[in-house]
Amino acid sequence: MSMLLQALIALPVSLDSVSVDFRQEVLPILQSRCVECHQDPAKNSGKRPKGGLRLDGKYWILEGNKFGPVIVPGSPLESTLINLIGLEADDPDRMPPKGDKLSNNEVNTLRRWVTEGAHFGDWTGAPGPNEVNVPTPKPPTGKLPTIIQRLLKLGEGVTPITESARILAAGARGTISPVFPSSPLLSVSFTSHQGRTGTRDLLSLAPIAENIATLDLGRTRITNASLAVTAKMSRLMKLDLRQTNITSEAIQHLIGASNLRSLNLFSSEVDDSALSIIASLNKLETVYLWQSKCTAAGVQKLRAERPDMRVIYEAILPPPERPAPDDSGGQRRRR
Ligand code: HEC
C-alpha cells in the first residue's frame, strides 16, 4: 500500500479568503504538468489517455475514469487526484510520475480549489461526447481512504499540542504540521535543514512525542542514541531514516513501536542484526532496505518470515508504461 501521508500534510492555511481562480491558477498547472498524458487521443497521435483519464476539459475532469470520479468537490481527502499529487517524490504512484513533484504551492492550490467546490468558472476546455450532460460531481460520501480512517482512529483522545509546545519544538528547525487539517497528530520533517539537524533537534521533540505520527529524519546527522526519543512516540506510523549513519543498534529503540507501518532505512548502516526486530513489528507494512548493510540472505529470511511485508531491497523504478491495449485504467486498485 502506498503511504498517503505526504498527501495529507496540511500546508499552511492561506489567510486570504480570495477563492482559487480556475483559469488563472489551476489550469496552468494541469496544462504544464498533466495534460500531455491525460488528453484527447486525436491531439496526441492516437495515444489513449493514461489511466483512462482526460484532464483537458471540464466534462472529462468531472467524468473521471473507470474507477469513478477523481475529484470530489468539497472533499480533498476523498479526491484521488489530490491524494496522488501529494505523494512523495519517490512514490511510484505519484502524479505526475515523471519530472519534479508539484511544488507545495501547486499542491496547495489544487487542494484549495477542490475544497472550495472545484468551480471551473467559464472554462469548459475540450468538449465531452455529450456537452449538455456534464457529469454531476459526486457528493462527499464520508467514506474516507483507509489511511485517513487509521489516522482518525489513532488520533482519538489525543490532546492537540499547545502553541507554545509547537514553538518550542519548532526551534528544532523541523517543520511541524498536522497530518491533515484539524488532526491532533503531527508530521515532523527536517528536510530543509538536513545537514544541520542532529541529536539536539531530535531531543527537543520529546514534549510533543505523543502526537507525532510521521517523522522524516532522512539525510540528517542523527545518532543511534538520539533515536531513544522515538520510544516515546507511541503513535509513530512512519519513520524515515534514509541516508543516515544509524546502525542496527538504533533499531533497538523501535521495539515498542506498535503503530509503525513504514520504515525507511535506505542507504543506512543497518545490517542483518536488526532484522529480527523488524520482523517483530506487527503493523509494519513496508521497510526499505535498499543499499543498507543487509545481505540478500537476510532479506530473504525476513521475507519468508513476514510475507505480508513489502521489503524493498532493489531500486524502485518508475512504473512501466502500460502497453497500449490495456492502458485505459489498468488493474490498479483505487486508493
Ligand atoms: C508522464 C505521463 C503522466 C503525466 C504527466 C501525468 N500522469 Fe496521471 N497517470 C499516468 C498513468 C500512466 C496513469 C495510470 C496509472 C495506473 O493506472 O497505474 C495515470 C493515472 C492518473 C490518475 C488516475 C489514478 C486512479 O487510480 O484512477 C489520476 C487522478 C492522475 N493520473 C492525475 C494526474 C495529474 C493531476 C497529473 C498532473 C499533475 C498527472 N496525472 C500527470 C501518467 C501521467
pLDDT tens digits along 231-248: 999 999 999 999 999 999
Ligand 1, atom 31: closest residue by C-alpha:
95
Amino acid sitting at position 31: Q
Q: Is the pLDDT confidence value at 268 over 80?
A: yes
- Mean pLDDT for 8-35 is 78
Pocket test for ligand 1, best of 38, 56, 108 (most atoms within 8 A of CB): 38
Q: Is the pLDDT confidence value at 276 over 60?
A: yes
Ligand 1, atom 15: closest residue by C-alpha:
51
All cell numbers assigned to 331: 488493474
What is the residue whose three cell numbers read 522524516? Answer: 216
- Which of 53-67, 117-131, 151-165: highest mean pLDDT? 53-67
The pLDDT value given to residue 334: 43
Q: Which residue has the higher pLDDT, 126 or 165?
A: 126
The pLDDT value given to residue 89: 73
**Distance from C-alpha of 22 to C-alpha of 29, rounded to nearest angstrom:** 10
Pocket test for ligand 1, best of 27, 32, 37 (most atoms within 8 A of CB): 37
**Distance from C-alpha of 126 to C-alpha of 272, rounded to nearest angstrom:** 55
- Which of 6-20, 92-106, 294-308: highest mean pLDDT? 294-308
Distance 95 CA to ligand 1 centre (A): 5
19-28, 60-69, 128-137: segment of lowest average pLDDT: 128-137
Q: What is the pLDDT of residues 199-217, one digit of tens each?
A: 778 888 888 999 999 999 9
All cell numbers assigned to 196: 544541520
**Distance from C-alpha of 306 to C-alpha of 313, rounded to nearest angstrom:** 14
Question: Of all residues in the chain, what percent carry a pLDDT higher than 90?
Answer: 54
Amino acid sitting at position 170: A
Distance 210 CA to ligand 1 centre (A): 36
Q: Is the pLDDT confidence value at 172 over 60?
A: no
Residue 98 in contact with ligand 1 by CB distance below 6 A: yes
13-17, 23-27, 70-74, 230-234: segment of lowest average pLDDT: 13-17
Which atom of ligand 1 is closest in space to residue 335's alpha carbon?
26
Distances (CA, A) of 249 to 35, 107, 258: 48, 38, 18
Mean pLDDT for all residues in the chain: 84
The pLDDT value given to residue 147: 76
Q: Which of 282, 277, 218 is nearest to 246 (CA)?
A: 218
Residue 43 in contact with ligand 1 by CB distance below 6 A: no
The pLDDT value given to residue 23: 97
The pLDDT value given to residue 331: 41
Q: Is the pLDDT confidence value at 128 over 90?
A: no
The pLDDT value given to residue 170: 62
Residue 163, number of CB atoms within 10 A of its CB: 8
- Mean pLDDT for 28-51 is 96
**Distance from C-alpha of 166 to C-alpha of 160, rounded to nearest angstrom:** 10
Q: Please check whether residue 210 is in contact with residue 186, taking contact to mean a CB–CB distance below 8 angstroms.
A: no
Amino acid sitting at position 273: S
